Amino acid sequence: MYPSVALSLTVCIFIACTSACSTSRVCSKDKANCRTRDPNGIVLSENISEVVLHDLSASLPTENTFSGNKQWSKIETLEIWAVDGESLGSRVFTGLSGLTYLGYHNEYMVNMVNDAFYGLDNLKELNFPMNIRLRISTFSSSMKSAYLPKLNKLSITVMASYYFTSAEDAQYVFLKA
């Protein structure tokens, strides 16, 4: 009896994840790992609450990328590993209203617009590591917006700075925001 229960469980998990990502994917229970240039075609099953996007083309997401599919509003955790694209565009996270954690990694990004975080009203943790070309001054301008009212944890590492000579200088700017 136990092997058939385990087999049934495995089949159920497989069925729940087969449509989690339309491109190459690895799924487990409530998490989907997707390798895709464009997230527009991704179909998420109802039990998915955590998504990791690998090789996302940073120049593709627009204001409609996540808002066009209501499944994205149920995602609580999103980790994006972007490639290429020098800018994080306007309102690209619209539609991710349930998000509480966002990790964004793009070593090519040099700029982001002030309303990039629009729609992330429930975000509690923002992780922006290894965005080595993004200037701290540009990032801090985006942080001064009212789009992150519940943010209580910010992690940044290795960001470009022409103005700050120490971590204390950067900390002053972010705490002032």
Domains along the sequence of the chain with CATH: 2-176 (3.80.10.10)
Query: What is the pLDDT, as a whole number, of residue 41?
Result: 78
Across the range 5-34, mean pLDDT stands at: 51
Query: What is the pLDDT, as a whole number, of residue 100?
Result: 98
pTM, whole model, 2 decimals? Answer: 0.77
Query: What is the pLDDT, as a whole number, of residue 170?
Result: 53
For every residue of the chain, DSSP letters joined together read -HHHHHHHHHHHHHHHHHTT-SSEEEEETTEEEEE-S-GGG----TT--EEEEEEEETTS--TTTTTT-GGGGG--EEEEEEES-SEE-TTTTTT-TT-SEEEEE-TT--EE-TTTTTT-TT--EEEEET-TTSBHHHHHHHHTSTT-TT--EEEEES-B-SS-SSHHHHHHHHHH-
Query: What is the pLDDT, as a whole number, of residue 81?
Result: 95
Mean pLDDT of the chain: 78
Query: What is the pLDDT, as a whole number, of residue 90?
Result: 93
Query: What is the pLDDT, as a whole number, of residue 99?
Result: 98
**85 pLDDT above the threshold of 70:** yes
8 Å CB contact between 95 and 72: yes
Confidence of residue 167 (pLDDT cuts 50, 70, 90): low
Query: What is the pLDDT, as a whole number, of residue 175?
Result: 54
